Amino acid sequence: MKHHHRNPRARGGRKRQPSRRDPLIGFEADVTIEQIGARGDGIAHVAAPDGKSVLIYVDCVLPDDEVRVALRQKRGDGYGAEVIKEIAHGGGYTPPKCSHFKECGGCALQHMQESDYRAWKHDKAMVALKRAGVDPQDAENIIADVEISPPASRRRAGFSVHVGATGVFVGFHGRFSHTVLNVPDCAVLRPEIMAFRAAFVTFLSSCPPDDARDIKEVFVTLTDTGLDVLVQAGKDPDLDMRQDLAEFADAQNIARLSWKTGDLPDEPVAARQTPLVSFENVDVPIAPGGFLQATNEGEKALVKAVTSVVAEIAPKHVADLFCGVGSFTFPLALSGKRRSVTAVESDPRAVELLQYAVGQSGSPIKVVQRDLFRQPLSGDELRDFDLVVFDPPRAGALAQCEALAADGPEWVLAVSCNPATFSRDMRVLRNSGYEILKLVPVDQFLWSSHLELFAVLRRTSVQ
């Protein structure tokens, strides 16, 4: 048999074409910022060389700012652009609150005057209602004043860690960058967390470089009994590192310091006190890195909104869905007249800790572990309640809202940390006969684009 040897040059298949560079990348133009978009960046239009109008998104600007920009990357239906020269500020500018504002990716609008910032958050709530199908005029009557947490009030933070030849960095990623920036004067975090950050930089600087380089992130939560710290690393600490961490926790008066290697379960390295948070005078333990509302002020605003409605409608049997460790559960059960509450959560650690607190307090609460995304309460289960409260993650509660649309009670209270999924879920409920009576915007992430929404719904008709 004759062997035929292929000539790879002759039979190389389709000839590769060189990648085409977008001709607008690097294009420069002078623009006037038109408005602030949903993500907190400025929106403007520039005339491209071919005469077409191009939408651009510009960071760290305000309406009516005049700037020269360079287009840097394609972004959705437009381009992300970088300011290369500030020509003139518009009328709403105020000096930013920290020196890292334009470098750090944490805050978008430190330079916006408070009245304009409050109006922008109100407008985000308005957009969420309109996307849920609410008439704009009705929406204006529904929205309450925005509850804004003050500076230096954030009680939890996740710091990125980088240890290299240029030093130790414990902070946040730069704007549109993987570079970790030290942030010694962060204007949003509680002073206790900032003091920890500075001490942790010193601690890592004194560690053997190989051990320090293995630490990737550190999560810090300020609880009622002190700081709860979770270190995320690529390998387990050796005995010397464990001893050093225990001494560090003691010197900094840290309630608990835990270590987590990759995807393995976390383990306590120094457990000096149990990290606790109090709801209606009931102490509840939290897991390392466990979820809490971002600020005490934001939590109080949401709880006040919930309990004020409960006081009016006086339900007897309440379901608290996606309940976490009980920030709404205990106020629902114990504020004013006591009532029975069924608290449902999928996280087994949160369920275990909530069950413990319920048992210690003797509260009229039943705790259930259940994945409400896959197995929402439905049918006869829902008919046992005269009020349902839900506070899901950013993905929203679509499956549960579809079940509520079919068999939900007269009253529903919805809490959302994502206006987009909030609008989607509210459309489902409104289409089934629920009416949104009130919306309270709560801003726990100061100077960012994030916004929480609390909605009161009542079924006015059956579809």
Catalytic one of 104, 186, 207, 417: 417
The pLDDT of residue 19: 53
Work out the pLDDT band at 16, boundaries 50, 70, 90: low
Overall average pLDDT of the 288-299 stretch: 96
Q: What is the pLDDT of residue 17?
A: 54
Tell me the per-residue pLDDT of 347-396, one tens digit each, with 9 for 90 and over.
Answer: 999 999 999 999 999 999 999 999 999 999 999 999 999 999 999 999 99
* Tokens 């993650």, residue located: 393
pLDDT tens digits for range 313-353 = 999 999 999 999 999 999 999 998 889 999 999 999 999 99
Query: What is the spatial distance between Cα 311 and Cα 337, in angstroms, rounded to a whole number?
Result: 8
Residue 329 has a CB neighbour count (10 Å cut-off) of 29
CA distances from 410 to 215, 318, 334 (A): 50, 12, 22
Domains present along the chain, CATH in parentheses: 28-93 (2.40.50.140), 117-150+292-459 (3.40.50.150), 156-276 (2.40.50.1070)
Q: Which amino acid is at 244?
A: D
Predicted confidence (pLDDT) at residue 450 exceeds the cutoff of 90? yes
- Is residue 428 a contact partner of residue 403, using CB atoms and an 8 Å limit? no
The confidence score (pLDDT) of residue 1 equals 44
At 22-80, the pLDDT tens digits run 889 999 999 999 999 989 999 999 999 998 999 999 999 999 999 999 999 999 899 99
Query: 206-217 pLDDT, tens per residue?
Result: 999 999 999 999
Please state, in angstroms and rounded to a whole number, the distance separating the CA atoms of residues 405 and 184: 49
Return d(Cα 136, Cα 439) in angstroms, integer.
13
Which residues, in sequence order, are CB contacts of 232 under 8 Å at separation 6+?
215, 216, 217, 218, 219, 260
* pLDDT tens profile 101-132: 988 888 999 999 999 999 999 999 999 999 99
Supply the pLDDT for residue 201.
Answer: 97
Burial-class residue 300 by CB neighbours within 10 Å (0-12, 13-18, 19+). middle
Burial level of 144, CB count in 10 A (0-12/13-18/19+)?
Answer: middle
Confirm if 67 and 58 have CB atoms less than 8 A apart.
yes
Opening angle at CA 346, ends 398 and 336, nearest 5: 85
Q: How confident is the model at residue 463 (pLDDT cuts 50, 70, 90)?
A: low
| Residue 417 annotated among the catalytic residues of the structure | yes
At 337 the pLDDT is 87
